[in-house]
Amino acid sequence: MQAREIKDRLKSLIEEASAIDPRLANRLEEINRWVKDVKPGSLTAKRFVILFLQQMLQDAEVWLRLKSLPSQEEQQSALTALNPTLKYWYGYLFPKWLSEKDAKFYIWRQKLMAGEFNQEDAKLIDSIANNIKNSGGTIVQRYIADLSMATDIIVSSRQEMPLCIQLTSVSEEFYQDKFNDWENTLIFWAIDRGLFLSYNPRATDFVNQIVNILLYNSDNLRIGSYLKFNL
């Protein structure tokens, strides 16, 4: 989807959401104000902005289809038909984001637009995600989860219990501060458990180790636990 198409679709979704879920309409209008004066050519050149917008439109479309179902029972049935991580996203985190004040949203939008976001760990997360899928697990990745909720990836394994994951290779000097920020963020969003995993990118076979740790903790980490794990 090109920049001009994205802008047009954004406007039509705002109109549609106004009649179905004003919370979504407000978020989309906030995003529309952010991009409306950016020329299509300039917007197209901003890769991560485009990726976020495409992701946001996809989520908005799914959410509106879900909320358009005539009864709560049908809406719940549609959610139940999703895989566990998507069910958690659309059934809990996405509506939570629509309802709550997100103090980080303005900040990271500006960083995206300014080109100050580079997603250095993208290849690693893609590799982890592929391994998790090959192991029978499911995953969700969203810019909103990453940049507002300190969650690089949401993982579910055999027990179908989604777990929010933050990966870091930060030095020991900043490690505790980053962990504290992560834990406080999860508590703010009422995410009831999470895993903060620090890894050494120079270690051998660390991707498989990460995958095994994520899958195990998805099934076994207790509610109310915000686990710090050094690999």
pLDDT in tens, 56-100: 999 999 999 999 999 999 999 999 999 999 999 999 999 999 999
Q: How confident is the model at residue 172 (pLDDT cuts 50, 70, 90)?
A: low
How does the average pLDDT of the chain come out, rounded?
94
Query: Which residues does 146 contact at the CB level (< 8 Å), separation at least 6?
Result: 152
Mean pLDDT of the region 133-158? 96
User: What are the residue ranges spanned by the domains of the chain?
Assistant: 3-114, 122-230
Measured CA angle at 127 (ends 122, 132), to 5 deg: 125
Q: List pLDDT tens digits, range 148-162.
A: 999 999 999 999 999
pLDDT in the model for residue 170: 66
Does the pTM of the predicted model rise above 0.85?
yes
Least confidently predicted of 13-22, 75-84, 110-119, 130-139? 110-119
pLDDT in the model for residue 95: 97
Closest CA to 167 of 71, 94, 231, 93: 231
H/E/C letters for each residue in the chain?
CCHHHHHHHHHHHHHHHHHHCHHHHHHHHHHHHHHCCCCHHHHHCCHHHHHHHHHHHHHHHHHHHHHCCCCHHHHHHHHHCCCHHHHHHHHHHHHHHHHCCCCCHHHHHHHHHHCCCCCCCHHHHHHHHHHHHHCCCEEECCHHHHHHHCCCEEEECCCCCCEEEEEECCCHHHHHHHHHHHHHHHHHCCCCCEEEEECCCCCCCHHHHHHHHHHHHHHHCCCCCEEEEEC
Q: What is the distance of C-alpha 126 from the center of its chain?
A: 14
Least confidently predicted of 70-79, 158-167, 195-204? 195-204
What are the tokens at 65?
């289809």
The residue whose two tokens read 């954004």 is 10
Least confidently predicted of 9-23, 111-125, 174-188? 111-125
CA distance 114 to 116: 5
Considering the four listed CATH numbers 3.40.50, 1.10.3210, 3.40.1350, 1.10.3470, the one that applies to the domain covering 122-230 is 3.40.1350
Q: How many CB atoms lie within 10 A of CB 61?
A: 13
